[in-house]
Structure 1
Amino acid sequence: MNSIAVAFVHGVEIDDPGFAARPAAMLRAAFARAAGMSRTDADDALGVEAVNWAPHIEERQRELFARMYSEEGVRTFFDGQLARLVKRLNAGRALALAPLAGWLLLPFLPGIPGLRGRLGPRGPRYPGARWLMLHFGGDIIAYDRQRNEANYVAAHESLARALARLAEKAGDGAPLCVLAHSFGSVLVSDYVYDQQETPRGRKLALWSLRYPDATLDKPIDFHGPDIAGRRTACRANG
């Protein structure tokens, strides 16, 4: 059976290896309906791989949060309830949004040990909101190649390793479909530009905010096969 390789790339995110489980299941179900095949055949037709590039950057975020609060505070936030709530949201459990918002709106969490930082007995205000901004704003800041190339390279290495696993799973001849969310699309665009040995990011419209004098007339050179035709072949061979 002909296969299609699908890579899911998250945007700003916590370290959640299972972030793509729910969207992958929804994609397989929709593909099965569209191709007129069983879910088992759809699973065989789609080789799916999640690109989790958050871990390296999260290490630095944990260090910064420990400086604001404490090591115990890091475990409370990065390994505790807040992280679990985000993972539930990633899994499609919308009811987790209410308790997550409650955590973010609390100015202090005196009942939780380990949040007595260097700025007073309670530490900085709104630790939950600080944790959220540290994760989701910090990913963008840390990715800046001009400031810290190590983070940029680590994120690209995560993508490269995932694509290698995907090639083993779906086969070298499988067409590649990349589903990148939000800032993940910037990561993928940069990676493809680098592979094509063109100036990184300067032809991406978003970067016109940073490089106002850059020309934006050379898009990524993608020559993908006809996915609709490949879907028809999957149905015929299934």
Structure 2
Amino acid sequence: MPQSVAVAIVHGIGRQKEDFASAIIQQLRRRVRQQLGEDPQEAPRFFFQPVYWAPVLQNEEDELWSRLRKGGSLGWTGLREFMVDFAADAIAYQPIEGRRDAYDRVHGVFADSLRRLAQQAGPRAPLCVISHSLGTVIACNFFYDLQAHSAEKPLIAPTVRQKLGDAPLACGETLTLFYTMGSPVALWSLRYENFGKPVHVPSPKLHSHYPNLAGEWVNFYCKADVIGYPLKELNADYRVAVTSDCPVLVGGPLAFWNPLSHMAYFGDTDVLGPIAEGLVGVWQTINTAQG
């Protein structure tokens, strides 16, 4: 039986619907079919799972926006609402000493999603993570915590640990491909000495499951996107961890030249093409090795 590949898709800022990943999943399925042929129904090659964390923070943000508007007349309403979506998400998510409930609740959603993927694709399935915007920060933090957690340095809350289960995939051991789009990780790195330490891609434990499998971390950014930045030059550790910073032009005529491009990565050919190639390469490698 061929081994499937698991794909987690993490959204970013803005008001997200539960089906936020439907379009990108459909496009990736079409692209991998073009290279591999039709997907056998009895043994799907790829399983996709959205990581839909928005509801964790949305109610509080809605209440905040309601109170702010009651406070007086505001100009640039659309831009202000965007700032509430982005800044409030970012501020609320970050843990502070003595309080990390939002951080843990968001990571609990991530853990649930990976556990579902492990049930669908298999406990040892190679894992690809596709993330956008603040979702790239969440993904980096989530896997960093998994990789650095120890009895001496406990980073994972018991509630998150319980949701993960014990499948190698859910515990991050099979993380193989990591794609970040419009990532503000560079801005978050200001919180740490010398701009911090990156997550390891692939997971340090991947080769115990798939000795022949190579991983990659590709960071897509658009030069007009004021939220997304290159990552490789943050420090020596990032130069090793990030395979490539990939500049792209995303969005149509109304977006590619301005900050609206930040919301256009999921549908862009220059982004989807390399991701599909990465997925196909992983599937072929593990199933050729099995054969």
- TM-score, normalising length: structure 2: 0.55
Greater per-residue strand proportion: 2
How far off its partner does 1:61 sit? 0.3
Q: Aligned to 2:85, which of 111, 131, 135?
A: 135
Check whether the contact 1:61–1:138 (CA below 8 A) recurs between aligned residues: yes
Q: How does 1:1-238 map to 2 (within 5 A)?
A: 1-35=2-36, 37-39=37-39, 44-69=44-69, 117-119=70-72, 123-146=73-96, 148-198=99-149, 207-213=188-194, 216=197, 219=200, 222-223=203-204, 224=206, 225=210, 226=213, 228=281, 230-231=283-284
Task: Write the distance in 1 (CA, Å) between the matches of 2:289 and 2:40.
Answer: 15
Q: Compared with structure 1, are the counterparts of its residues 218 and 12 closer, same or farther at alpha carbon in structure 2 (3 Å cutoff)?
A: closer
Could you tell me the percent identity over the aligned residues?
31
| Cα shift at 1:133 | 1.5
**Could you tell me whether the CA contact under 8 Å between 1:193 and 1:220 is conserved in 2?**
no
Change in 2 beyond 3 A, CA 1:140/1:229: closer
Shift of 1:182: 2.4
Q: Secondary structure at the match of 1:174?
A: coil
TM-score normalised according to structure 1 size? 0.66
Change in Cα spacing, 1:42 to 1:126, as seen in structure 2 (3 Å) is farther
> Relative to 1, partners in 2 of residues 1:31 and 1:46: Cα closer, same or farther, differing over 3 Å?
same
Tell which structure's C-alpha radius of gyration is larger: 1
Cα pair 1:208 1:214 within 8 Å, conserved? yes
Distance 1:206 1:26 in 2: 30
Query: 2:77 & 2:128 partners in 1: Cα distance?
Result: 38
Q: Is the 8 A contact 2:12 2:136 kept in 1?
A: yes
Match for 1:118: what amino acid? G
- Normalized per residue, the structure richer in helix is 1
Distance 1:233 1:143, change over 3 A: closer
Cα pair 2:6 2:117 within 8 Å, conserved: yes
Aligned twin of 1:100: none
Change (3 A) 1:26 1:174: same
CA distance in structure 1 between the aligned counterparts of 2:54 and 2:287, rounded to whole angstroms: 34
SS at match of 1:14: coil
Distance 2:190 2:118 in 1: 35
Gaps of 5+ in 2: 156-184, 214-278
Runs of at least 4 residues off by over 3 Å: 39-43, 197-200, 204-208, 212-221, 232-237
Contact 1:9 1:180 in 2 (8 A): yes
Residue type at the aligned position of 1:28: R
Helix, strand or coil: the match of 1:124?
A: coil
Structure 2 letter corresponding to 1:9: V
Q: How many residues align?
A: 183
Correspondence for 1:77: none
User: How many Å separate the matches in 2 of 1:27 and 1:40?
Assistant: 16
Name the counterpart of 1:76: none
Deviation of 1:213 after TM superposition, in Å, equals 4.7
Does structure 2 retain, via aligned residues, the 8 Å contact 1:5–1:170?
A: yes
Change (3 A) 1:179 1:124: same
Output the amino acid matched with 2:90.
I
Would you say the 8 A contact 2:14–2:82 is kept in 1?
no
